[in-house]
Amino acid sequence: MLFLLLVALESSFLPSAEADQAKKLPNIVILATGGTIAGAAATGTQAAYTSGAVTIDAMLAAVPGIRDLVNIKGEQISNVGSQDMTIDIMLTRAKRINVLLAQNDIDGVVVTHGTDTMEETAFFLNLVVKSQKPIVLVGSMRPSTAVSADGPLSLFDAIAVAADPSAAGRGVLVVMNDWIHGAHSLTKTSTTAVQTFMSPLRGIVGVSTYGKNDFYNTPQWKHTAESEFDISNITKLPRVDILYAYADMSADLIDASVANGARALLSPESETEI
Ligand code: ASP
């Protein structure tokens, strides 16, 4: 009798089937920043396009059925081609991710981004985000208006990775063209090919095929929650220049960097591990 009474009481408080369903789906926040994935051209077959012309709502409208799989909230952080990415945007975005992922009701974050500085953003977030929850970057090589645009499926896969508990603890990930890369290992290899991102030495973290994920690796370097870097009180970063060095180069460029305020210089070598 008591059991029946409890059941009756409990059912009277049950939310509607729809609300119940929404509650069970993972909650993912998409931070849109621009890039080709948000780009638009006058025709579907031209190379020239305007980067960052499409909003997050329009991008999501191109991914049918995604709202049946996850609860999504979108925020527009910026709308720039990533060649114009600034330290200000990078800091604002990282701090926003820290605030979002500290909330119990948020399961993961997806950042839509241009591919030119995708590596920098992934590496930076990997050092300064304080969470084990999935953080996934995604971009595209073709604008949203192109014939065979690659953005919608990569966005679908990125959301599926962000919603997957198996992605947690692997640091910041980049999902493009079916492959899941770790922030320490990826590099852009082509300005036009859809399969542009590679992780040549350390390998990819896994694959996502129409949102079905398979993880092969967990990056071993310190990242996110274990990283010692904390940007909560940082509003500016020192200038660090990258100069390509070559045999018998003159010191002029180095002197110019130092004279203009560089606090450190880096020089990539061809043998450097990617
Ligand atoms: N220039 C573009 C950008 O980085 C290229 C891209 O998104 O692929 O925003």
Shortest-distance atom of ligand 1 to CA 118: 4
- Is residue 34 very low, low, confident or very high in pLDDT (cuts 50, 70, 90)? very high
Bigger pLDDT: 1 vs 270 = 270
> What's residue 8's pLDDT?
41
Q: Is 272 known to be catalytic?
A: no
Residue 96 CB partners (closer than 8 Å, separation 6+): 31, 75, 77
Per-residue pLDDT reduced to its tens digit, 76-132: 999 999 999 999 999 999 999 999 999 999 999 999 999 999 999 999 999 999 999
The C-alpha atoms of residue 30 and residue 37 are separated, in whole angstroms, by 13
The C-alpha atoms of residue 107 and residue 135 are separated, in whole angstroms, by 9
What are the sequence ranges of the domains in the chain?
Answer: 25-226, 238-274
pTM, two decimal places: 0.88
Backbone angles phi, psi at 119, to 5 degrees: -60, -45
Nearest CA to ligand 1 atom 7: 114
* Cα 116 to ligand 1 centre (Å): 5
Tell me the percentage of the chain whose pLDDT exceeds 70: 89
> What's residue 270's pLDDT?
55
25-226: CATH, from 3.40.50.720, 3.40.50.1170, 3.20.20.140, 3.40.50.150? 3.40.50.1170
Bridge partners for 111 per DSSP: 31, 137
